[in-house]
Structure 1
């Protein structure tokens, strides 16, 4: 009692009983919680609340979860935030779309509160273990600052979604070392989340579009490396 909440969580779902269930379980586990019944309201709340994690339904009226996630990821102050999709849809293309837009996890309904709390704890635990001798990496015209989750190319600041940033930072920490897709999945997404291998390719392509083609090299039949 009297302890500050561990982390702030925003729950977004168009079904009030689900919001109430998740809010109750999250608060019982020490989280500070806000809720929203639609994506537009979620974006508005997130700008003021600055959540550490968003639990986001995909199938919602007005604005679906994928578009909501896209708008949240565009906000510079939310670059460190986790996004976990909650959905009744289990088709592979829905899962691919979720991870492509920057999701950290994808959980199908019906929701089991204890399992969900475990997945959330695993995300925060893995994030707390990510340490580095230096939070700033400068190579050529590229500067990567893990403290602010920003990068700059030739002095121009660029904001990357969380997973794109972590992928670039990890590769840049290990220049000229080749990593397979499986290596990158394990180091960036972790073993607690099942992610398709093509998700790595999509994230690499998006990073290249923003920083240029010179930094990340494809090693055919093996994987990727950061070229110094």
Structure 2
């Protein structure tokens, strides 16, 4: 009987991930040139992360910079030496595709699009201003394809700035009627009598309490009909 093999350690923190990379790098210096940062190519990825995509760390005696706040935002990967650095007179392979929220993409094409979108949504301006700028963004031909793959600019806008009533839990059947009544902001809903809300199909005492509690939990921009869903 062979001895039971130990289970591989699951890396759960940014610190563990970086330490693991440095250790493996030191064991493979003959083929590894350094570490290269790879950002998660998604609309939700913060601008501070996207701008660091492709950054290279070559000092084996120091940890790479801490770029991410959450594990999903990106990862340091090994950058191997070139064929010529390894003694082979061969040209390098063309850059490959990366996974993204619209399928496989070339980072050189998709990254500028993501950065352009994030530069707008992360502005320190009212939501209405940022939505207007997204709608007016000049779109290169390649970017139009990405917009279509994301379902159109309005769907992208809803991802970052959903309508407030769409975020209230468990009232999907009542959203249209709330909108027809003009009850689209926390303050308007809070000011509506219980009788008005209870008259809407799909809203009973339990959901009324959910609505009241949810609106009470909104402390900023209570007159806005949209909320912000932007990670920075």
TM superposition score normalised by structure 1:
0.22
More strand by share: 1
TM superposition score normalised by structure 2:
0.22
> Which structure has the larger Rg?
2
Structure with more relative contact order (C-alpha pairs < 8 Å, separation 6 or more): 2
